[in-house]
Amino acid sequence: MLGAIAGDIIGSVYEWNNVKTTEFPLFSPSSTFTDDTVLTVAVAEVLLKNGDYREAFKRYFRRYPDAGYGSMFYLWASSGDDKPYNSFGNGSAMRVSPVGWAFDNLEDVLNEAMRSAVVTHNHPEGVKGAQATAGAIFLARNGSGKNEIKRFVEDTFGYHLDEPISRIREHYSFDVTCQGSVPQAIRAFYESVDFEDAIRKAISIGGDSDTIACVTGGIAHAYFGPLPEEIKDECLLRLDPVLREVTYQFMERFSVP
């Protein structure tokens, strides 16, 4: 999950200031965690404590009300209404990375990814985005190659992953839907040679940069192994004590490198 958090923090300054290149500073004084990290940690806590996603999301929202949530999630989390709102936004995918680490078989991962999604994102595309991301992480951490992961995503979810990042970069614009950002994020991982390269490729296409890099980073961490120390240290420094402690606990409990 730390790879997802790193993607969010590194991408945070580029969401509204897109860069169409892989040449950019990884960190600046403004680099910070956003709602992607907050809700990722909420999912991790649910898995650690056998908790309730709905309750955890609303509690973390109250603790971090200014983290940059989407408008529909903000309205849901700040209201007394617990019903999902049929979203197919990429929020279901950005928060799901811990699920890919917490189970020993793919079926359980996909079922839990759906559970984490449907409390808000009960549209089929919202569920699909979460499952594709968590499934890719599970396969990556268990030794599957990139082509195997790509085939799984394409065959199971119908995403098209053949368009290269260089071509996506030319036309891509802001799209917060799962179907308009998760395939691109997975493609960035597919083309990468290491963790940093994956993050740089994800951010370079523009659009919802922190979330795309968050999804890419979760998969890249599972595939490439431990994050480079300088990236890991910078990201952990930018978490507050609550987020940092849950992250540490999750990584220890589920043997995340």
Question: pLDDT (tens digit, 9 = 90+) per residue, 195-218?
Answer: 999 999 999 999 999 999 999 999
pLDDT value at residue 69: 97
Residue-wise pLDDT tens digits, 91-133:
999 999 999 999 999 999 999 999 999 999 999 999 999 999 9
Q: What is the pTM of this model?
A: 0.98
Phi-psi region for residue 206, left (φ > 0), alpha (ψ -120 to 50) or beta?
Answer: left
77-94 average pLDDT score: 97
52-56 average pLDDT score: 98
DSSP 127-148: HHHHHHHHHHHHHHHTT--HHH
Domains of the chain: 2-253 (1.10.4080.10)
Query: CA-CA distance, 161 to 15, in Å (whole number)?
Result: 23
pLDDT value at residue 232: 98
Residue-wise pLDDT tens digits, 217-226:
999 999 999 9
128-154 average pLDDT score: 98
